[in-house]
């Protein structure tokens, strides 16, 4: 039955589609294949989510080899949630992509873009479904390598140095990760996450495991771009093609956070994490990320770079939620994982549309765009409001949970910091709004047209999601709370 | 109404918020035909007032219409609940919108302002936010409309589009948004964490919680989070907003926006903290001092300001703190005074701003020192100004007397002599900065060429008739509210739980 193989198909579909694009390098064909693959992934992901909801976690043994010899996939509520998020966002971005890619990537290389995109997707989905720590590394490398190449496709020559910078940092991160996995293997003799979780407690006190944990946190921190490991991110997001920025911002860092959650809560377990000095350092880094990221974003002249710094801040929010180690905090963190993906993809895509029309995303070049591209800029404003955390947008819901978590733990200064950082977000979004809506002569730039429908529809799909999930919060909160409870060791 | 659609107060509440929104759309649609556009504004204003009156009828009859719009989280909803305080605020705002629209037409055309469509459209949007705020049934709804009001008035404040206007707009947004997100939002979430609810209830929802230090911290957060109440040192946005065209200053910065601030303050004190809870905890004492300080200092600044609108702005800062002071005394009668003062000050101050705009339209004069003898050229304007000044000072036969009377009664009841001293002193100061204007207008000699400057005109008559009509109406309203305080008083008594 093909249905029982659905967990592996989640990875295989994009993996098989990728080489097709190299063999038949026709732009339209590649796009169709890629879209078909991502939509199939989305369907599989949704099926998995529904199955996990109904029947609990799914385990799947590759080639019928049982763990610890074979590679096991294990899909629980959190993995399912991630696969839905990743495949949903990547589908929407693909719908948006043809014109943007046509403008930003030369015809000769367009098919390579789709190949890399699919490979990246394979890696990200693989990370989410695998139950094996080493296999996770393999998928991590697949997604990382393809993202370096994707960033390097940017028009600006600085994209090359940005990609190289990311390559160095990302490789260090991945190497740290594999060193840690090696150390854990040496102590326990297994790579399977479930087995690791069982055997680690015996050796938890050893120095080797502590060292492994340190390597893990720093290594994954590099991939997450957690302050102060964020150095690669601003350049990478700024110089990558618009759709790549949107894709990476919405999915890659989120999946890295997923790895952190897995390692902390599924491998080490909530009790061990609470006993070890992990939460406080993470919280402090998160607070720095939130405030410094937002503050630096205010001073950017390039709107994409502004969003990049804002991403660093938003990652801080997610990590902050995790560092509370409480159900409310973790729910807030996981919600923000999802919500931030919605906001940032909507925002980066609207900038993609702006770039498509005016060939620049310098804030000063956006004067009067509120009049010329009303729908695009309105989407930007809604996405920005969501970023600030205005009620009736998704941003409000996750911030609500984060602040509640802070107050429940009695850490009111953190609540103040979360709000202060929202204010900073208000300022950097307002800078764009003020220039786009209140500057520029009414007659200036009369030849600038609104973005084409093929761009507006995906943008507004994501923007609408920002509002929809901000009002109709039942499903997302239930899923996030279930995942948080599961991670903290409660019943599923 | 017949058939499937039946007209209930609940539906009227929704309509009250929606009508100005439809008006906004209509104004945009009619942008190329100014006469039609202004007709749309007038019809919208009239329809809104009718709708609010309909709601008022049911509120007077004892109903409390309650509609839940959407509910993102359990207990966390967009919800409208009409209670007496909000009813009074909605009546004042929507009633004065009609008058203000008449005035706007005269003013905007008389001064050939640009971007008039944007002006009228955002004005209607601001009214929708105000009504939403007035009818808000919980803190979240209040917050949403509070922020909407800030954002929808920004284009009005920066209407001129000059560098100075944009700079003032930044101050305006900066202070209002940062206080509301930084303090107000935090206070709301904290209230939720402490009590698990955020609706407005008689006696206050915090009443059951342990008093100190939570109450004290929350009170601080609410009072400074509601930056629109302009408690010092969060008042600077108000004078900054005076760069706006006068109709904006008149309706928004004398009625809607600033009253949204003190309305929220009173509502939070009465329905979130609860008067008894707050006075038992003793956490509210500092508020009397801060409000008293604001009243006196703002009056002194007003006394020294030569620019007429600036003087009025600081007078507003000072008068707003009357409401805060009255609420902070925590005596039932002073709360009645606070509620009445929202209405009384609205009528008086809108008249004063109307007059300032009328003077500007007719003569381009902006300074008090230029106003010598102007009462002889503009008798209607300056007579209205005089009546409104009396109301500001709190003298009969004007509305200001009644509200001040209740505030004083409350202060005597609570034996709060400091508050009494503040009220006494500030009354003198009010007289000190308003009466000389009236005196100068009617009895002083016309200014010489140097005082007049280059732009102001020496030879002029009254402003266009819509302007004069509007300010005469509001001046008459100031007196009428003194003669017939019944309905307003009933609503105010209901706020403290006294049935009429």
Nearest-CB residue to B181 (from A397, A419, A430): A419
Nearest-CB residue to B186 (from A415, A470, A472): A415
Interchain pair A419, B185: CB under 8 A = yes
Interchain pair A477, B73: CB under 8 A = yes
* Segment (H or E) for A73: strand A72-75
**Residues of chain B with C-beta less than 8 angstroms from the C-beta of A403:** 186, 189
Q: Rounded distance, CA A488 to CA A334, Å?
A: 13
Of the ranges A65-69, A116-120, B171-175, B484-488, which one carries the lowest mean pLDDT score?
Answer: A65-69
Q: Number of folded domains in chain B?
A: 1
**A426-461 burial, b if ≥16 CB within 10 A, otherwise e?**
bbbbbbbbbbbbbbbeeeebeeeebbeeebbebbbb
Which residue range(s) make up the domain with B334? Answer: 284-500
Ramachandran category for residue A391: left, alpha or beta (phi over 0 → left; psi -120 to 50 → alpha): beta
The CA radius of gyration of chain B, in Å to the nearest whole number, is 21
CB contacts < 8 A, A to B, total 57
Residue-wise pLDDT for A102-113, tens only, equals: 888 888 888 899
In 3D space, the residue among B265, B256, B259, B261 whose CA is nearest the CA of residue B327 turns out to be B265
Interchain pair A404, B178: CB under 8 A = no
Give A 228-287 residues with CB within 8 A of chain B. none
Q: Is residue A100 part of a domain?
A: no
How confident is the model over A123-128, as a mean pLDDT? 93
Band (pLDDT 50/70/90 cuts) for residue A444 is low
Q: Is residue A402 part of a domain?
A: yes
Q: Is the pLDDT score of A443 beyond 70?
A: no
**Residues of chain A with C-beta less than 8 angstroms from the C-beta of B192:** 404
**Residues of chain A with C-beta less than 8 angstroms from the C-beta of B161:** 438
Closest-CA distance of chain A to residue B235, Å:
19
CA B392, B393, B396, B398: dihedral to nearest 10 degrees? 0
Q: Rounded distance, CA B356 to CA B261, Å?
A: 23
**For chain A, percent helix, then strand, then coil, each to nearest 5?**
80, 5, 15
> Strand, coil or helix: what is A409?
coil
Per-residue pLDDT at A223: 92
Nearest-CB residue to B72 (from A416, A422, A470): A470
Interchain pair B182, A430: CB under 8 A = no
Asked if B2 and B23 count as a contact pair (C-beta separation under 8 A), the reply is no
Contacts of A158 (CB under 8 A, 6+ apart): A235, A239
Interchain pair A438, B190: CB under 8 A = no
Q: Is residue B242 part of a domain?
A: no
> Prior bond to B233 cis, omega within 30?
yes
Average pLDDT, chain B: 87
Which residue range(s) make up the domain with A396? Answer: 277-492
Q: Rounded distance, CA A452 to CA B139, Å?
A: 41
In 3D space, the residue among B475, B129, B132, B489 whose CA is nearest the CA of residue B338 turns out to be B489
Q: Rounded distance, CA B230 to CA A305, Å?
A: 37
In 3D space, the residue among B123, B257, B356 whose CA is nearest the CA of residue B115 turns out to be B123
Q: Is the pLDDT score of A204 beyond 90?
A: no
Q: Is the pLDDT score of B3 beyond 60?
A: no
Token pair, residue B213, equals 């230090």
Interchain pair B144, A392: CB under 8 A = yes
Interchain contact A472–B (C-beta under 8 A): yes
Nearest-CB residue to A391 (from B140, B155, B178): B140
| CA-based end-to-end distance of chain B | 31
Nearest-CB residue to A407 (from B70, B173, B190): B190
**Which string of DSSP letters, residue by residue, matches B337-395?**
HHHHHHHHHHHHHHHHHHHHHHHHHHH---BGGG-TTHHHH-HHHHHHHHHHHHHHHT-
Name the residue of chain A whose CA is nearest to B196's CA: A404
Interchain contact A475–B (C-beta under 8 A): no
Name the residue of chain B whose CA is nearest to A417's CA: B182
Q: Rounded distance, CA A421 to CA A313, Å?
A: 8
Q: Is residue A328 part of a domain?
A: yes
Q: Give me the phi and psi of B326, to 5 degrees please.
A: -60, -40
Question: Mutating which of B68, B153, B193 best tests the A interface, going by the most A Cβ atoms within 10 A?
Answer: B193
Question: Mutating which of B74, B159, B189, B227 best tests the A interface, going by the most A Cβ atoms within 10 A?
Answer: B189
How confident is the model over B255-282, as a mean pLDDT? 88
**For chain B, percent helix, then strand, then coil, each to nearest 5?**
75, 5, 20
Residue-wise pLDDT for B51-90, tens only, equals: 999 999 888 888 888 888 888 777 788 889 998 899 999 9
Asked if B340 and B402 count as a contact pair (C-beta separation under 8 A), the reply is yes
Q: Is the pLDDT score of A62 beyond 60?
A: yes
Band (pLDDT 50/70/90 cuts) for residue A2 is low
Per-residue pLDDT at B211: 61
> Strand, coil or helix: what is B45?
helix
User: What DSSP character marks residue B500?
Assistant: -
Residue-wise pLDDT for A211-268, tens only, equals: 999 999 999 999 999 988 888 999 999 999 999 999 999 999 999 999 999 999 988 8
In 3D space, the residue among B152, B85, B162 whose CA is nearest the CA of residue B120 turns out to be B152
Helices (H) and strands (E) in chain A, counts: 21, 2
Nearest-CB residue to B186 (from A390, A392, A416): A416
| CA-based end-to-end distance of chain A | 27
The CA radius of gyration of chain A, in Å to the nearest whole number, is 21
Asked if B443 and B381 count as a contact pair (C-beta separation under 8 A), the reply is no
Name the residue of chain B whose CA is nearest to A389's CA: B181
Nearest-CB residue to A397 (from B72, B181, B189): B72
Per-residue pLDDT at A101: 87
Model confidence pTM above 0.90: no
Asked if B387 and B472 count as a contact pair (C-beta separation under 8 A), the reply is no
Q: Is residue B394 part of a domain?
A: yes
> Strand, coil or helix: what is A434?
helix
Q: Is residue A467 part of a domain?
A: yes
Q: Is the pLDDT score of B500 beyond 60?
A: no
Asked if B337 and B409 count as a contact pair (C-beta separation under 8 A), the reply is yes
Interchain contact A444–B (C-beta under 8 A): no
Q: What beta strand segments (E) does A56-113 contain?
A: 58-61, 72-75
> What residues are paired with B70 via a beta bridge?
B78
Q: Rounded distance, CA A86 to CA A41, Å?
A: 9
User: What DSSP character marks residue B73?
Assistant: E
Question: Mutating which of B181, B195, B220, B225 best tests the A interface, going by the most A Cβ atoms within 10 A?
Answer: B181
Q: Is residue B458 part of a domain?
A: yes
Q: Which residue has the higher pLDDT, B498 or B190?
A: B190
By residue count, chain B amounts to: 500
Interchain contact A214–B (C-beta under 8 A): no
Interchain pair B73, A430: CB under 8 A = no
Q: Is residue A117 part of a domain?
A: no
Token pair, residue B58, equals 């049911």
- How many Cβ atoms sit within 10 Å of the Cβ of residue A326? 17
Nearest-CB residue to B193 (from A404, A434, A472): A404
In 3D space, the residue among A109, A134, A110, A140 whose CA is nearest the CA of residue A122 turns out to be A140
Give A 360-419 residues with CB within 8 A of chain B. 388, 390-392, 396-397, 400, 403-404, 407-408, 412, 415-416, 419
Q: Is the pLDDT score of B2 beyond 80?
A: no
**Residues of chain B with C-beta less than 8 angstroms from the C-beta of A472:** 72
Interchain pair B186, A471: CB under 8 A = no
**Residues of chain A with C-beta less than 8 angstroms from the C-beta of B186:** 403, 415-416, 419
In 3D space, the residue among B225, B249, B70 whose CA is nearest the CA of residue B165 turns out to be B249
Interchain pair A390, B158: CB under 8 A = no
**Which string of DSSP letters, residue by residue, matches A177-200?**
HHHHHHHHHHHHS--BHHHHHHHH
User: What DSSP character marks residue A365?
Assistant: G
Nearest-CB residue to B73 (from A416, A438, A473): A473
User: What DSSP character marks residue A112?
Assistant: H
Integer CA distances (angstroms), B325 to A116, B204, B229, B370, B418, in order = 66, 19, 11, 34, 11
Residue-wise pLDDT for A309-345, tens only, equals: 999 999 999 999 999 999 999 999 999 999 999 999 9
Interchain contact A457–B (C-beta under 8 A): no
Band (pLDDT 50/70/90 cuts) for residue B4 is low
Interchain pair A404, B189: CB under 8 A = yes
> Strand, coil or helix: what is B206?
coil
Q: Is residue B193 part of a domain?
A: no
Per-residue pLDDT at A441: 66
Per-residue pLDDT at B193: 84
Q: Rounded distance, CA A69 to CA A53, Å?
A: 29
Q: Is residue A132 part of a domain?
A: no
**Residues of chain A with C-beta less than 8 angstroms from the C-beta of B185:** 419
Q: Is residue B55 part of a domain?
A: no
Ramachandran category for residue A253: left, alpha or beta (phi over 0 → left; psi -120 to 50 → alpha): alpha
Closest-CA distance of chain A to residue B165, Å:
11
The full 3-state SS of A332-360, as one line of letters, equals HHHHHHHHHHHHHHHHHHHHHHHHHHHCC
Q: Is residue A310 part of a domain?
A: yes
Interchain contact A440–B (C-beta under 8 A): no
Q: Is residue A472 part of a domain?
A: yes
In 3D space, the residue among A460, A317, A477 whose CA is nearest the CA of residue A387 turns out to be A317
Q: Rounded distance, CA A269 to CA A63, Å?
A: 29
How confident is the model over B116-136, as a mean pLDDT? 90
Integer CA distances (angstroms), A341 to A84, A91, A336, B147, in order = 12, 13, 8, 25
Q: Is residue B457 part of a domain?
A: yes
Q: Is the pLDDT score of B394 beyond 50?
A: yes
Per-residue pLDDT at A276: 84
Per-residue pLDDT at B1: 43
Ramachandran category for residue B340: left, alpha or beta (phi over 0 → left; psi -120 to 50 → alpha): alpha
Per-residue pLDDT at A163: 92
How confident is the model over A30-43, as a mean pLDDT? 93
**Residues of chain B with C-beta less than 8 angstroms from the C-beta of A408:** 193
Q: Rounded distance, CA A487 to CA A322, Å?
A: 10
Chain B residues within 8 angstroms (CB to CB) of chain A: 70, 72-73, 76, 78, 140, 143-144, 147, 155, 158, 161, 166, 173, 177-178, 181-182, 185-186, 189-190, 192-193
In 3D space, the residue among A103, A15, A163, A14 whose CA is nearest the CA of residue A354 turns out to be A103
**Residues of chain A with C-beta less than 8 angstroms from the C-beta of B189:** 400, 403-404, 407, 415
Q: Is residue B451 part of a domain?
A: yes
Nearest-CB residue to A407 (from B155, B161, B193): B193
Q: Which residue has the higher pLDDT, B145 or B193?
A: B145
Integer CA distances (angstroms), A23 to A16, A121, A424, B258, in order = 12, 19, 48, 68
Give CA A369 to chain center in angstroms.
29
How confident is the model over B356-367, as a mean pLDDT? 87
């Amino acid at each position: 039955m093909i249905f029982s193989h659905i967990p592996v198909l989640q990875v295989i579909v994009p993996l098989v589609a990728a080489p097709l694009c190299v063999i038949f390098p026709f732009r339209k064909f590649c796009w169709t294949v890629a879209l078909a693959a991502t939509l199939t992934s989305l369907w599989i992901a949704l099926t998995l989510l529904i199955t996990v909801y109904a029947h609990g976690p799914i385990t799947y043994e590759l080639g019928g080899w049982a763990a610890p010899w074979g590679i096991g996939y294990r899909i629980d509520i959190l993995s399912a949630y991630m696969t839905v998020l990743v495949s949903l966002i990547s589908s929407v971005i693909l719908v948006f992509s043809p014109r943007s890619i046509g403008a930003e990537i030369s015809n000769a290389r367009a098919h390579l873009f789709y190949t890399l995109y699919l490979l990246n997707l394979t890696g990200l989905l693989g990370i989410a479904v695998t139950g094996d720590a080493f296999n996770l590394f393999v998928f991590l490398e697949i997604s990382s390598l393809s993202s370096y190449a994707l960033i390097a496709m940017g028009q600006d020559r600085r994209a090359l140095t940005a990609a190289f910078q990311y390559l160095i940092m990302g490789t260090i991160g991945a190497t740290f990760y594999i060193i840690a996995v090696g150390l854990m293997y040496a102590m326990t003799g297994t790579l399977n996450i479930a087995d690791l979780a069982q055997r680690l407690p015996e050796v938890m006190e050893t120095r080797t495991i502590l060292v492994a944990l340190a390597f893990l946190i720093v290594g994954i921190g590099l991939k997450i771009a957690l302050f102060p490991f964020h150095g690669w991110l601003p350049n990478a997001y700024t110089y990558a093609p618009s759709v790549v920025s949107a894709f990476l911002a919405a999915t890659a860092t989120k999946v890295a956070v997923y790895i952190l959650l897995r390692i902390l809560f599924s491998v080490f377990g909530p009790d061990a994490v609470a006993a070890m000095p992990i939460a406080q350092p993470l919280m402090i880094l998160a607070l720095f990320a939130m405030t410094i990221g937002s503050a630096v974003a205010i001073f950017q002249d390039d709107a994409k770079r502004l969003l990049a710094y804002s991403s660093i801040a938003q990652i801080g929010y997610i990590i902050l939620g995790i560092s509370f180690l409480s159900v409310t905090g973790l729910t807030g963190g996981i919600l923000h994982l999802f919500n931030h993906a919605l906001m940032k993809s909507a925002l980066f895509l609207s900038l993609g549309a702006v770039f498509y029309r005016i060939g620049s995303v310098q804030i000063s070049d956006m004067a009067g765009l509120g009049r010329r591209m009303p729908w695009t800029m309105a989407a930007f404003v809604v996405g920005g409001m969501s970023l600030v955390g205005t009620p009736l947008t998704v941003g409000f819901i996750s911030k609500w949970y984060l602040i509640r978590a802070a107050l429940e733990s009695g850490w009111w200064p953190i609540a103040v910091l979360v709000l202060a950082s929202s204010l900073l977000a208000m300022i950097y979004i307002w800078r764009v709004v003020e220039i786009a809506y209140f500057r520029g002569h009414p007659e200036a730039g009369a030849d600038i047209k609104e973005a084409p429908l093929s761009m507006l529809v995906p943008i507004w799909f994501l923007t609408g999601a920002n509002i929809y999930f901000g009002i109709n919060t039942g499903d997302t909160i239930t899923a996030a709370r279930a995942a948080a409870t599961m991670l903290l060791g409660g019943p599923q | 109404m017949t058939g499937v659609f039946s007209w209930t107060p609940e539906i009227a509440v929704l309509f009250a918020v929606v009508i100005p929104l439809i008006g906004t759309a209509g104004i945009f649609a009619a942008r190329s035909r100014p006469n039609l556009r202004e007709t749309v504004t007038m019809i919208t204003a009239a329809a809104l007032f009718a709708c609010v009156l309909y709601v008022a009828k049911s509120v007077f009859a004892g109903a409390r219409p309650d509609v839940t719009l959407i509910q993102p989280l359990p207990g966390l909803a967009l919800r409208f609940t009409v209670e007496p305080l909000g009813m009074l605020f909605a009546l004042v705002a929507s009633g004065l919108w009609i008058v203000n629209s008449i005035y706007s037409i005269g003013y905007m055309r008389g001064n050939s302002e640009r971007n008039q469509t944007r002006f009228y459209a955002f004005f209607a949007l601001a009214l929708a936010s105000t009504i939403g705020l007035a009818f808000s049934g919980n803190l979240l709804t209040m917050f949403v409309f509070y922020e909407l009001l800030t954002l929808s008035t920004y284009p009005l404040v920066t209407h001129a589009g000059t560098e100075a206007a944009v700079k003032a707009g930044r101050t305006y947004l900066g202070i209002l948004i940062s206080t509301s997100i930084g303090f107000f939002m935090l206070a709301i979430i904290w209230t939720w964490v402490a009590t698990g609810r955020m609706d407005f209830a008689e006696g206050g929802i915090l009443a059951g919680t342990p008093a100190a230090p939570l109450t004290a911290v929350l009170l601080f957060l609410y009072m400074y989070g509601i930056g629109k109440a302009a408690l010092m040192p969060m008042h600077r946005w108000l004078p900054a907003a005076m760069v706006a065209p006068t109709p904006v200053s008149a309706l928004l910065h004398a009625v809607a926006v600033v009253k949204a601030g003190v309305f929220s303050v009173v509502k939070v004190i009465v329905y979130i903290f609860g008067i008894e809870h707050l006075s038992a905890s003793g956490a509210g004492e500092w508020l009397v001092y801060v409000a008293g300080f604001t009243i006196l200092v703002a009056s002194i600044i007003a006394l020294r300001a030569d620019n007429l609108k600036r003087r009025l702005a600081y007078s507003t800062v000072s008068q707003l703190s009357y409401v805060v002071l009255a609420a902070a005394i925590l005596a039932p009668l002073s709360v009645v005074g606070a509620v009445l003062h929202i209405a009384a000050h609205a009528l008086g101050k809108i008249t004063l701003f109307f007059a300032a705009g009328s003077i500007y339209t007719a003569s381009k004069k902006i300074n008090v020192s230029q106003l010598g003898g102007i009462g002889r050229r503009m008798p209607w304007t300056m007579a209205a100004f005089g009546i409104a000044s009396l109301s500001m000072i709190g003298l009969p036969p004007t509305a200001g007397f009644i509200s001040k009377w209740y505030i004083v009664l409350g202060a005597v009841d609570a034996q709060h002599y400091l508050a009494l001293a503040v009220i006494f002193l500030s009354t003198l100061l009010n007289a000190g900065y308003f009466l000389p204007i009236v005196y100068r207008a009617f009895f002083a000699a016309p200014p010489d060429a140097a005082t007049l400057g280059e732009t102001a005109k020496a030879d002029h008559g009254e402003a266009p008739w819509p302007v004069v009509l509007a300010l005469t109406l509001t001046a008459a309203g100031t007196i009428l509210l003194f003669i017939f305080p019944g309905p307003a008083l009933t609503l105010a008594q209901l706020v403290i739980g006294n049935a009429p």
